[in-house]
Amino acid sequence: MNQIYLDNAAATKVDDFVLEKYLQYIQEFWANPSSYHSTARLVRAELEKARIEISQIIGSLSQEVFFVPSSTIANNIVLNSFENIIGFDFEHPSIEKQLINRNQKILQIDSSCVINLDKIIEVIDDKTELITLMYVNNIVGTIQPIAELCKRLETINTLRIKNHLPAIRVHSDCSQAFKYLDCKVKELGCDMMTLSSSKINAPKGVSVLYVSKDVHLNPIFLGGSQEKGLISGTENVPAILAMMEAMKKLDFDRKKTNEHFAKLKKYLLNSIQSEDKISVLGVEKNVAGIVLFGIHGVEQETILTALDLDGFAVGSSSSCSTGAIEENRFLRSIGYGKDFDSIIRISFAQDTTLEQIKLFVVSLKNIIAKLSN
């Protein structure tokens, strides 16, 4: 299959260097890191080295880094440990569905696709224990003001502690963010953070959960005592090591990557700006690698099929569940079904070329001209 792949917010291809390392790690470090013998102890040592390397990248202590099989599980572990939570309607379903099912406070995002800090502060009450807010949104790519939120909470928490109220903890799902922004926990000020291997050119099946040493989380699965009993199950050491390699590489290349994405985005936006059937959403404060279009006059399935047949892999919203758009309250709140008949998400890879974007623009314009009603 030789499609032009523009759906990197859903999944990224494993980087060549990371793949090479991964294959080596699978051959060398396959023993169970919890066993006693020397072969296992070697694997344990590599696992702990990865924990230290990753903690240095995110600026935490190594004992604050936990390895989890997916961001969905990491997010569920966090939310499950708190009773009173404030969240947002544009969070990933692994958070949003917990908020809905447990009748928690869910704030709506307006068309800017960036949260309003005052609105959050307004809804805090004596019982509030956790605010969960993603750093970069997976659908529209907007950057959320986590550091500003945590700063404002500092003063609020000082007062709460004086009044014997629980300090409000902040969790940030940074699964999308790490590709574009350095996610340093002290600079952001968050107490918990989720990172994903599948969005950063590493093999799928690993997420990192940062948990401040001052926070206690409860396991959701019972089993062995891996990861201090928080996440039972044998650690996937080769994939963890590959994620560490991918993080180091991304961290080093980030500036160059963002500059490349900015050029692609600029071309893309310039070339569709005079199209009256295409609107760009949330573009003011988003990362350079994600662009969300609202399309007028062509139905969702029709445009996705036409682009697919034309050789372009694009995202529809979030690929995490079939029919995601119909269910997605956030997209509805920013105009899907009212102002737009379809939504497509373009997300770049480091090797996406300007030539590919030019081909995409031609295809998109042709499809809309041919199929719009």
8 A C-beta contact, residue 268 and residue 361: yes
94 touching ligand PLP, by CB under 6 A: yes
**Span 269-288, contacts to ligand PLP by CB under 6 A:** none
Q: Which stretch binds ligand PLP (CB under 6 A): 22-30, 41-49, 68-76, 302-310?
A: 68-76
Chosen residue from 76, 176, 347, 352 binding ligand PLP by CB under 6 A: 176
Chosen residue from 15, 96, 173, 341 binding ligand PLP by CB under 6 A: 173
Q: For residues 349 and 206, give the distance between their C-alpha atoms in angstroms, rounded to a whole number.
A: 20
12 touching ligand PLP, by CB under 6 A: no
**Span 313-342, contacts to ligand PLP by CB under 6 A:** 318, 320
198 touching ligand PLP, by CB under 6 A: yes
Residue 141 has which token pair? 């790519």
92 touching ligand PLP, by CB under 6 A: yes
Q: Given the DSSP bridges, would you call strands 290-295 and 342-347 parallel, antiparallel or unpaired? A: antiparallel
Dihedral (Cα; 93, 12, 182, 240), 10-degree rounding: 90
- Single-letter amino acid code for the residue at 186: K
226 touching ligand PLP, by CB under 6 A: no
8 touching ligand PLP, by CB under 6 A: no
CB of 11 to ligand PLP, least distance (A): 8
Which own/partner contact pairs does 263-269 have at CB distance under 8 Å and 24+ positions apart? 263/354, 264/288, 264/348, 264/352, 264/354, 264/357, 265/289, 265/291, 265/348, 267/354, 267/357, 267/358, 267/361, 268/346, 268/357, 268/360, 268/361
Q: How many residues bind ligand PLP (CB under 6 A)?
A: 15
354 C-beta neighbours (distance < 10 Å), count: 12
Comparison of 70 and 201: residue with beta carbon closer to ligand PLP:
70
71 touching ligand PLP, by CB under 6 A: yes
CA 229 to chain centre: 25
Comparison of 44 and 92: residue with beta carbon closer to ligand PLP:
92
175 touching ligand PLP, by CB under 6 A: yes
Q: For residues 310 and 165, give the distance between their C-alpha atoms in angstroms, rounded to a whole number.
A: 58
- Contacts to ligand PLP by CB under 6 A: 70-72, 92, 94, 134, 138, 173, 175-176, 196, 198, 207, 318, 320
